[in-house]
Amino acid sequence: MAIIQGMGFPCTRNNDKDGKPNTFFSFKSEGHDVIASVVTGTTLYLFSRYTNDLKVTSERLNKWNANEILSTAYMDDDGTILIGAPIVVVDGVTEEHIRSLVTEFGDTIPRFLRFLRETPTPQKP
């Protein structure tokens, strides 16, 4: 969280129902809400959520995943679209590398949203 704050992104971290700090925090990147969740002691997962107003199909999301290596898109059980990217932080990972991955994810979101709005090319029978 300190690294992301140091990049100029104000972060918000609330407490859980027991008053302990949550294992996730949020910030805005390029105007988009991003949640950073501590998955394990060595992995931080960045993701952003969107309602499926465009009625995007799982097949469409799979086309994104087939062409992208640094992010994954999926739909949860209630139809919400998510795009996410892991940041594995183990011995030897520099702050510069983490900043680079956070920046890359922030740059990916607008590209992903444009992809969702594009009309898919009809497949030939």
DSSP code string of the chain: -HHHHHTT--EE--B-TTSSBPSEEEEEETTEEEEEEEEETTEEEEEEEE--TT---HHHHHHHHHH-SS-EEEE-TTS-EEEEEEEE--TT--HHHHHHHHHHHHHHHHHHHHHHHSPPPPPP-
Q: How far is CA 6 from CA 73, 98, 121, in A?
A: 27, 12, 42
Angle between helices 58-67 and 95-117 (to 10 degrees): 140
pLDDT tens, residue by residue, 45-76: 999 999 988 888 999 999 999 999 899 999 99
Which pLDDT score, from 0 to 100, does residue 82 have? 95
Domains present along the chain, CATH in parentheses: 2-117 (3.30.1460.10)
Which pLDDT score, from 0 to 100, does residue 50 have? 94
Report the predicted TM-score, pTM, of the whole model to 2 decimal places: 0.83
- Segments of the chain scoring below 70 in pLDDT: 119-125
